[in-house]
Chain A
Amino acid sequence: MLVLNIQRMSTEDGPGLRTTLFLKGCPLMCCWCHNPESIDLNKHLEWVGVRCIGCKSCLKACKQGALSSNDKNEIVIDQTKCIRCGECVDACPAGALELKGDRKTVQDVFSELMKDRSYWGENGGVTISGGEPLLQSKKVKELLKMFHEKGVHTALDTSGLCSEQAIDDVFPYVSLFLYDLKVIDREKHIRFTGQPNDKILSNYRYLVDKCKSTDKKIWIRTPIIPGATDSDENIMQIANIIKNDDIDKWELCAFNNLCKDKYDRLYQDWVYAGKSLMTKKRMDELLKIAKENGVKNAIWSGMTKLEG
């Protein structure tokens, strides 16, 4: 599997204390994405400036001419020339060059995640997230099955953009689905994420029906992004879709701007770089709308603008 990161002692990706596996690769390109390094389905090289000691060992190590240094002594990566061989990563004494994405066997990932089993307790467990984990659904199924057999609570964090077959594959081994519903307006969805939402919405219905009369749970998550998903109308529309369904929780996740440096490392401008956080007042208003439109178990989470 192509693993981006393993987050131990994770507190926000499902119930209890968890270990979250982030897989690399995503079919969406949400413009607010706070894990932009997870989108690319291949490995890629990054330079972390704050770690660099300026020894230039990497320039000597690179046989492809993909690295250069600019007048600010920053290392610039030419991603078109980089073949992700990792020579520069080995040569860098400071760990300033990182190859994002690590190919690991399902067994290795399983063993690594199980190291924290003692901390999960009765409620916690593992969450498989991404990127979009169902892009690697065969491997994910294998992995989930292993946890399932050990009696570990499993959560799958999905964008919903996948085949029904992928859902069928993993379904028996997932205890909780964390399902994203971002924007209901089709045009806006295309504009903000690069993809239409028809499949996401039909998969949602497919999953809800499939979960009926099982003990599997669904949490809906909606990132609340200024100017994109934070309209009264959008929240009303989502509420209308889910209000009669057996949804365990609907979480409105306030926009967070902590990932600006990640875009810098990808040499990308981030449209949200200068955006301020949501206010508590606005989050409360949206939550009220969610509840008034029939979703009693809605909550909001995340960081809001510092007041006072």
Chain B
Amino acid sequence: MAKYKDAVKQPGDLSPRVKWLRDYYFEGVKRDWNNEYSAYTTGTPWDIQFDEMTYYIVPEVYSFMSTFTTSVRQAAETIEIPDDFFKKAIPERKAFFTKKAVVEKMPIKILYNDLLCGSNFNLMTSMCLTEKEQKKRDKRLKKARQSMRFIYDHGYGNGGATSGHLIPDYAKIIKYGFKEEYRLLEERYESLTEKEKSSQKGAQIRAMLTACTMPKELGERYSKLCISLAEKEGDEKRKEELLEMARITSKVPWEGASNFWEAIQSLWMTHMLVMSDEKYPGPGVSFGRVDQYLLPYYEESIKQGMSEDFMKEILGCFWVHCNTAYDAQIRVGGNQGITAGFGQLLTLSGLGDDGKDMTNDLTYLILDVIDDMSPILEPKPNVRIHNNTPEKLLDKMVDMISKSQGAPFLINFDERSIAGMLRQGVRGKVEHLINLKNAHEYAPVGCLENTMVGNDRSGTVDNNVNLLKAMELVFGNGKDMLPYFDPMTNKYTKLKQYGPKTGELSSLDTFEKFYEAYAKQTEFIIKKMVENYELSESIRADYNPTPYLSTLVKGCREKALDVTQGGPELNFVTMEAVTFATTVDSLLAVKYLVYDKKECTLEELVDALKANWKGYEILQTKALHKAPKYGRDDDEADALGKRVMDTWSEEVWKYKTKSTGRQFRPGMLSWNYWIGAGYILKASANGRNEAQFLSNAICPSNGADINGPTSNSNSVGKVLGGKQENGDYLDYMNSLPNGASHTITFNSSLVKDSGHKEKFKSFLRGYCKNGGTALQINILDVDVLKDAQAHPQDYRHLLVRITGYNAYFTSVGKELQDEIIARESHRQY
């Protein structure tokens, strides 16, 4: 129980069945069943399962990669392979092996009173490579790993070919089943020439054909289990349920679904096998607009007399299944493996054709389930709103926000997001695939990354660049400003001329010259990131196909190319910028301190940064508190922010991957890098010390948004391009098709009663017009207030609002601070 009453939201009124399953899930390691990895090998001495490249964007595990690889190998059970196994092409081997593991080996289980089949899916399957292939791969991998370590250790960022982060065409399978996909693949195979059949193309289609039969046979396996359990079941009602589940799993996902239960079963099994195929639990494999494509099945079941309560039970079971993704590493870490968000995202509401709002009865039903199930990590809900979102939906959303510590969903803003998608259509020369007629069908994946649905894998987390590194390279004239620590050799690196020479500090005698130098170093770091990505991307393309996932992504069948090889119709990869506000604020500080106010020379400023501001405290204080900042709706500061946005994002559009032809596109998501990279990147000109946090995604720097949420939001909208006549969409501009993560923390008094909820709705409507693409709403945390009490210097801009009265928390004195903490704790005003 939390120390503070009401500080943690409790789940809602769950049915006994769902409550039991939810509670059971949270028992973690104490459960008698779990979904931790099952590992399988071909039995060859060189075989491995774990693909370290999928973790290149997770710096926390760099030190464990070799351990993971060997420990999984040791745990792997051998699956017998046919004699001609290695004569086949890699995708065929992979499809065969994964299917065998899934259909014959992987444990299956029906949980107590569960209404859905599909328990285990966390798999570690063989690489299925010959000795020669494996050696070649290892050799290339070594280079990829070195490159990845270099860019991480030197503060450029991180990057690697990552799993998931797409919305498979689940709607197609629910409607027609894998049977139809199988037929189309057969047709496609017949259309190949004999020469093509014996080439990579033929192998790919054959692999996809095999993959299509995997869910069919797994379904049949579950169906048999249900029948045998039904035979032993004493309770008549449960017996009936089990027999119905047996019927359903013998039908879907091989065939199309015809009611709600079938549709959810089809969705779950199809989805979980993507995670098996990719050997990664829940990496942003997202569901898309569930309230749209599930609506016909909802309506059909309502017609057939199914109650909404029973539908909620089915969905409750679905929720629990999604969370078992975390079982993969259930014995690792202190929280039973529940360590981070995997991001199986689902999307509700949003615009339809002709500006129509698409909210429906199912939208509200699913919101109820979210409300009842939360707090729980998966699936991650995202609600799309726009200028014509109905009051009823906003009421429901604000109501849910008021009950939770933060919004139990992310809010996506359609107009700004669609503007970004349309920009991508133009810049990527795919207007036939993304245009005014269909851009509203977009949905986010992972956290908030906007993509199209069913034909798009945009590698939304594969590249994360620290923009701030370019500033450092200006200060070092193309060298690191200071040597970096090399954890492999335990030594400091030598200063080398990695980046271009952009001029001795003394030659940068105007801010324009300084900015030009910054822009050149930005070109360099982005090129460096692109080169790094090519290494792992090309290895994946050559050795790590996912033929099952390829059956679910439009373009792969048509091109006879795997999803990992550039098969999807929309073939993009994303560069996410980290440290945006820190960089903008640093440029603003350089301009203010060196060029405008002449408080110091550029050389002195660099000396201060090298000394981590030690001995330069007055200058640091000026950088922190006198220099302009992004996030205050200050037009001049935000104009520089826009300039930085243009500089880096234009650079990104210049590149495509060589091996797979994927066009780079820009976005802003920082996951947790803004914390970790803060320890790597040296002190920055905005007054930040080394080891202090960087700015998060598109958010202003911590404490910089002193004018409140509306000015903060206005700044975000402006740097994305603001509004213009003939914008990308209506009058909306958006430089970031991927979207940008924006978090604002509000005082809980803002949603304390119905009058205030109305005001909060007004804010959301305003954000639709002026703000960014996505907003996470947090409610002020008691712990933050306590920390502010202990460290007032870090929180001087923390505003608390009590019944409309604003006060800077740190300036009100201990006694009143205690009172405010007590009030926030009890949500009492």
Contact = CB atoms under 8 A, between A and B. Distances in A.
Interface of A: 7-13, 16-17, 34, 48-51, 53, 55, 57, 93-95, 115-116, 118-121, 123-124, 254, 256-261, 301-303, 306
B811 A8 contact: no
Nearest to A19: B710
A273 to B, nearest CB: 10
Contacts of B812: 258, 260-261
B811 A50 contact: yes
Contacts of A53: 617-618, 621
B816 A121 contact: no
Interface string B803-829: 111111011110010010011001011
B62 interface: no
A261 B813 CA distance: 7
Contacts of A119: 710, 762-763, 765-767, 770
A256 B805 contact: yes
28 contacts: A7-B806, A8-B707, A8-B708, A8-B711, A13-B804, A17-B759, A34-B805, A50-B810, A53-B617, A53-B621, A93-B618, A94-B624, A95-B625, A115-B710, A116-B711, A116-B714, A119-B710, A119-B765, A119-B766, A119-B767, A120-B762, A256-B802, A256-B805, A258-B816, A259-B807, A260-B812, A303-B829, A306-B819
B618 A55 contact: yes
Interface in B609-634: 617-619, 621-622, 624-626, 633
Contacts of A48: 811
Closest CB pairs A-B (n = 6)? A12-B804, A119-B766, A93-B621, A118-B769, A121-B762, A17-B762
B762 A124 contact: yes
Contact of B763 (A17, A50, A256): A17
B758 interface: yes
A23 to B, nearest CB: 17
Contact of A261 (B711, B714, B804, B811): B811
B710 A258 contact: no
Q: From DSSP, what is the main secondary structure of chain A's interface residues? A: loop
A257 B816 contact: yes
B5 to A, nearest CB: 9
Interface of B: 617-619, 621-622, 624-626, 633, 707-711, 714, 750, 756, 758-759, 761-763, 765-767, 769-770, 792, 796, 801-808, 810-813, 816, 819, 822-823, 826, 828-829
A9 B710 contact: yes
A257 B815 CA distance: 11
B626 A93 contact: yes
Contact of B633 (A16, A50, A115, A256): A115
A253 B633 CA distance: 32
A51 B796 contact: yes
B219 to A, nearest CB: 51
A25 to B, nearest CB: 20
A133 to B, nearest CB: 18
Of the candidates B710, B769, B823, the one having the most CB atoms from chain A within 10 angstroms of its own CB is B710
A123 B762 contact: yes
Contacts of A51: 625, 796
Contacts of A120: 762, 766
Contact of A11 (B618, B750, B796): B750
A72 to B, nearest CB: 15
Contacts of A301: 803
Given A116-B711, A303-B829, 15 more contacts: A8-B707, A11-B756, A11-B804, A12-B803, A34-B805, A50-B796, A53-B617, A93-B618, A95-B626, A118-B766, A118-B770, A121-B761, A260-B816, A301-B803, A302-B803
